[in-house]
Each structure stands twice: as C-alpha cells, then as structure tokens.
Structure 1
Amino acid sequence: MLRFTVLLLQATSAVLATATPRGGHHGGNSPWVPRFKNLVAFGDSYTDESRLGYFFEHNGTAPPPGLLLPFAPVTPGGGITWARRVAEYTSATLYDYAVSGAVCDNKIISRWLAGTSQMFPDVVYEVDAFIADTKYINASTKTNTLYTDRKPDNTVYSMWIGTNDLGNGAFLTDSSLKETSIPDYVDCIFDRFDSIYKAGGRYFVLMNNAPLQLAPLYGMPPTGLTESHYWTDKPANITEVSGKMKQYTKLANSIFDYRTPYELLVAKRYPGASFAIFDVNSLMTDIYNKPSEYLQAPANVTHAYSFCDITGANCVTEPGTELNQFMWFDELHPSAKVDEVIGQEFVKIVKGTSDYTTYWP
C-alpha cells in the first residue's frame, strides 16, 4: 500500500507539473507544431471524405498503397468535412484514412457493410493503410510519391473514433464481442497510436466523443427520435437511451483525460511525442447552448436538416431552410457548418491557442 501511494503521488506530481489546462496556451511563443504541412486523419463518418465511397465503387476493394484519395464536396455532414477545412485554412496536405461506419477494432465491435460480404473497415485497417502508404515506392520514380515531405515536426495525426463504438449495435446495446468493454476500445486507440508513433508520428490530436445524447438519434423527448433508419428497432424508452448515451460518452472522454497524461508522463510510452486532447464534446455542447454564435439564423440545434424514412429512402430537407442553420445534417451527423467550426478550432490547436484543448506535455 505504501509503495502504491508513493507511485500515485509521483504520478500526480508529474501530471501537475506539466499540464497545460483546457483553454491555456501550450506554452512559449512558438506554435505547438513548428511547421504544419500535413494532416493525417483517422476516424469514421465524422471525418471520412471519400474512402468508403472508394470501397463501394471498387467492389469492396481497398485503395492501393500510394493513392491520394480525391477531395469530395459532399460528405455525411452534407458538405465539406472538418479535416478538409483545416487543409484549406492552412494549405496543409490532407491524408484522410477515415471510413464512414468505422469502429476502432472489428474484433471488439462487429458492423457489417450493407450490400457487401465484409465488415466496415475499422481503424486497425486505416492505420495499416497509412503504414503501407509510408512504405510505398513508386515503380517509375523509385521514391515515395505520396508522402513527399512527412517529417516528425510538420505532420499532425488526428484520431476521432467512437460514435459507432459507443452507439446502437455496439456498447449502447450491449453488442460488443467477447465480453469486451469501453476500456478495450480505449486500449485500441492507444495501440493504434503505438503504430503511428513507430512510423514516425510525434504530434497527435485525440478528439474526444461528441455529445451524442444531443443528436436527434439519441436525444431526449420531445425532439429525440423514436425510430430511424440508423436504428430500426430502437427501444420505446428514448429517455433511458439518451441518458445511457450521455453516460458512455462522458465515461470514455474522462478515460481519455486521465489515460493520456499517464501514458506520456508516467508510463513514458511515447518519448518525444506531444499530445493534444481536443474537447470536441464541449465545443459542440457550446454550439448547442449558444447556437446564434455559430449557426446562421434562425438556428436549429434539435432537428435534422435532412430526414429519411425508416428504410433510408425518400429523404427530404426542412422546407424553407438552409444547411448552415442546422447543427445536425441528419439524425446522427454534425452539419457541414459544425465541421467548419471544428476545422477553425483545429487550426488553433496547431497554433497552440485552442480554448478547447489540453496539451501534453
């Protein structure tokens, strides 16, 4: 017991000595990332630009190593994704490995891709695809023609995964595999960081889970939906669903807050690396609570701009409205306007001035 107490005190001292609190500058007069040139993004439909589309267009085949996927003006948020906004605002090159529908690991949560004989590609696939791209050698030039200027001090690696891990068909409905739990999902994220770190990554942004209980799919009455093509057999007690969703997102995000400094400062798992925890949850909650500061008037944070029937067909938009007025494009995905706000805040993260980020160390 005495030894445990000493270790606990040492760990606490290390954390307190190096913490940069949420809303604080990372320290010094220079930006957090010395010279930001590349954004390598991993995640699900909140980040995907065109990768799932490639799978559909090529009979379930993954993009080959060395291929930079194209810009897509329409994404699950109804417009340009946040990661592309970052590239636009900074002139950085975007390498987007996110796949709509992804979970962190299909061995924890299994989700089948409709119309195919395979599961949605997971973040395990995404990181493996990134590593394959870093090792790619063009047959003509005998060089890597994809990553032409990737260095430890000019590349940021973002991870935003959890919407499908925590939601229906996953932890929310007790559908995980082999008695796995939310800590296993968190382990998966840090295991992926291990692989990226080994491949030269040194600047990591861990984006926490969105406030999913505010989305129409998981919302409280009277605006929360009783049924959706995303969840055709949703339970009648949507108040319980919303409350449980809030509990799970807050639990996972709290684990991120404590696990990250432990891995960096106590376990020393990533020597020389820097992590930023982007509190997207708080940013989106602020949009929900103060919509006039972020959305076009008259703002709408409780209903979706686009709504489809229970089969996913016959989709209609709110008449007489514009997408920029809405927080949610559909019942699950933040709108392109919210993506724009997230992209603007991400640029501040790189500069080291984000009010929604904690930097470690």
Structure 2
Amino acid sequence: MVWKSALAILIAASGLSNVVHALPNNQPKKTHYLGWAQIKHIFAFGDSYTTTGFNVSLSQPGPGNPLGNPTYPGHTSSNGPNWIDYLTTTYNKSFIETVNLAYGGATVDSTLVAPYSPTVLSVKEQVESEYLPIYASHFSPVPWSSDDTLFAIFIGINDIGNSYASQNATLLPTIFSELSGLVDKLYASGAHNFLFLNVPPVDRSPLTQAAGPTAQSIEAADIADWNNRLVSLSNSLTWKYKDTTSFIFDTNKVFSRVIDHPCAYPQTCPYQNTTTYCTAYENGTSTPTSFDPACGVSVDKYLWLNSLHPTFRMHEVVAEQIVKLIE
C-alpha cells in the first residue's frame, strides 16, 4: 500500500484530565448512550487529523467495509491509520460503520477563519451540505439510530493556527457560537451521543517551534482558551438537552505526555524523536515503517511526520484512550 500518494494531497491541517464529562444537572434524564459496545455507527467531523478522504458519492460504509471509501486506511495525514480508523476497526467492541466527513485543512466556518483553499469543506459545510441532506434524511444510505450512534468532532487546530497571530479577542467566542449552533442542528437530526476532542499542543509542533517562542506562547494561550470553551460547550449541551451524553477527550494531555515521555504508552514507546521531523519523510513514505538513512531512524520512530502532523502511533494511543473514556 502506498501512503505517499495519499499524503501528497493533504495540506497541513492546521490542564484537563483525560476526560471531562458534562456537569450533572441533578435532573432525571433519558440516556441514549448505552455504552461503547452498543455503538454501531460513527459520524466524524474535523480536519486532516481525522480525514480519511471519504467521498459521499462513492461506496458507503457497510458489512465488510466499515469506512466505505477509499480503501482502508484511506488518505490520512499519519502515514498509516489515524485515530478514527483505529477506533472503528481496532478498538471497537462491535462492528461499526463510520461516515467520516472530515476534510483536511478544515476550520469551523470558512467565513470566520479561512482555510488554505476555498475548496476545503468547513465543519459547517460538513454538517449542512453533506450530513444533513444525505444522512439525516429518511433515505440515509447508512441506517442509524440515536441509541447506536456516536457523533465525533475534532476541530480547532486550523482555527487557531490560521488566526492566533492576529490576537483577535472576539474571534473565539464567535467561532464557538457557530459551533454550538451546528451541534444544535446535529441534535435536532437525532444525535444524542457526542464526543469532542480538544486541540493538541500544536504550539509544540515543529511548525510553531520554528516561528519562535513568542508565537508558541500566543498559540498555547489560544489553545488553552479553546479547550476551556469546549468544556463549556459540552456542559451547556447536556444542560440544554437532558437526553444527551457528551464526552470530552483530552487530546492535549495525551500528546503532551508522549512528547515528554514517549514510553508513557506502549504504542508510542518506539518513538525516538518527538520534537522534529525528517524532510525525507514529510510527504509520506511507501510503507508506514520505511527507512531513509538520511533520517537516522525509520519514519515510525518520529512522532512528527512533518511540521504539523503526527504519525500513526500517536493516533493509535488516542483511539485506545478514547475507548477507555467512553466504554
């Protein structure tokens, strides 16, 4: 399988405890979340950390083909499977069909923070132009119910990365108002089980390291602000809709642990470099473990494939830890 061709089409997408549950509201409520083992469908929204290159016009998820198109693991940014691949096929407790609408380079709303290209589908477009007309209709090609479906949203890397230099104090509140409205639309369509992934410490990525300590400090502050607002959004969601379940996965903490101590998790213990990347590998390699002598070690020994994207081992840890949270 050739990973390089898949990665060439991707442009950079650019404390909490491991989990933050929504605050209890002390009122009786019906839950639609019956446990991870009962999840049969996932709808995923996000950017290049999540995308597998799914095309809504091609083959849909189904028996023997859990992610539909393209061929597993898809067009990922990880030089191998990514977290949604692992969540669907490795750490699943049942057969799961995943509709992955994430798009590389996405922001929440392109009119608020522009992506690298006008062709990029924002989360707003993923929800309003693809999910709602196709999968929220009575003629959905993937039959799902509120009880057996998880809605996963992993967004914010590009919203912050493309805007932190402007230091616009009103931008994040506006973005979160839009994101909250999109979550309301998902709920109205029948979504009751939500998983939000917060923004990892991309201020420690090679991209922001190269920009210098001032840039790192500004971006780190914006990431902390974003992640706090995500907690508020999740809490507000479960207060507003008594029959929802909402999880927040602390991607930031898990990434930080691996950057500081690669052997914090068995899957990432092979990492020998967690701070830089090798340019010979940055566009992907012929196999997930390819070796170029110029890089010193094989590509899977680097946490960073390029200036912003982690390799597959990091994604596997994310999937494993998500399941520990939601099972």
Indicate whether the TM-score tops 0.5: yes
Distance 1:247 1:86 in 2: 30
Partner of 2:100: 96
Q: CA RMSD in A?
A: 3.0
Partner of 2:42: 39
Which of 191, 201, 224 in structure 2 is aligned with 1:250?
224
Partner of 1:210: 200
Deviation at 1:254, TM superposition (A): 1.1
Which of 222, 226, 243 in structure 2 is aligned with 1:272?
243
Conservation of the 8 A alpha-carbon contact between 2:281 and 2:305: no
Deviation at 1:305, TM superposition (A): 4.5
CA deviation profile, 1:119-171 (whole Å, cap 9, x unmatched): 4111111112111222567xxxxx54x213x111111001010111000xx32
Conservation of the 8 A alpha-carbon contact between 1:34 and 1:153: no
Q: The residue matched to 1:327 in structure 2 has which SS?
A: coil
TM-score, normalised with respect to structure 1: 0.70
Distance 2:244 2:24 in 1: 18
Partner of 1:64: 57
Q: Cα gap change, 1:166/1:307 in structure 2, threshold over 3 Å: closer, same or farther?
A: farther
Partner of 2:191: 201
Which of 250, 257, 261 in structure 2 is aligned with 1:286?
257
Q: How does 1:1-361 map to 2 (within 5 A)?
A: 15=23, 32-33=35-36, 35-51=38-54, 63-64=56-57, 67=60, 68-73=68-73, 74-89=75-90, 90=92, 91-113=95-117, 118-128=118-128, 129-135=130-136, 144=140, 146-148=141-143, 150-167=144-161, 170-174=162-166, 181-219=171-209, 225=210, 238-265=212-239, 268=240, 270-294=241-265, 295-297=268-270, 299-306=272-279, 319-351=295-327
Q: Cα gap change, 1:96/1:305 in structure 2, threshold over 3 Å: closer, same or farther?
A: farther
Please, which runs of 5 or more residues in structure 1 have no aligned partner?
A: 1-13, 19-29, 55-62, 138-142, 220-224, 226-234, 352-361
Q: Cα gap change, 1:244/1:92 in structure 2, threshold over 3 Å: closer, same or farther?
A: same
Counterpart amino acid of residue 316 in structure 2: E
Conservation of the 8 A alpha-carbon contact between 1:131 and 1:199: yes
Counterpart amino acid of residue 349 in structure 1: L
Q: The residue matched to 1:75 in structure 2 has which SS?
A: coil
Conservation of the 8 A alpha-carbon contact between 2:262 and 2:271: no
Deviation at 1:240, TM superposition (A): 0.4
Distance 2:69 2:47 in 1: 16
Equivalent residues, number: 281
Question: Among the aligned pairs, what percent are the same residue?
Answer: 20
Deviation at 1:320, TM superposition (A): 3.8
Distance 2:224 2:167 in 1: 19
Deviation at 1:32, TM superposition (A): 3.6
Please, which runs of 5 or more residues in structure 2 have no aligned partner?
A: 1-21, 27-32, 61-67, 285-290
Conservation of the 8 A alpha-carbon contact between 2:59 and 2:69: no
Q: The residue matched to 2:194 in structure 1 has which SS?
A: strand
Distance 1:66 1:322 in 2: 34
- Stretch of structure 1 that moved more, 154-163 or 252-261: 252-261
Q: Cα gap change, 1:98/1:164 in structure 2, threshold over 3 Å: closer, same or farther?
A: same
Distance 2:69 2:189 in 1: 21
Q: Cα gap change, 1:298/1:209 in structure 2, threshold over 3 Å: closer, same or farther?
A: closer
CA radius of gyration, larger in: 1
TM-score, normalised with respect to structure 2: 0.77
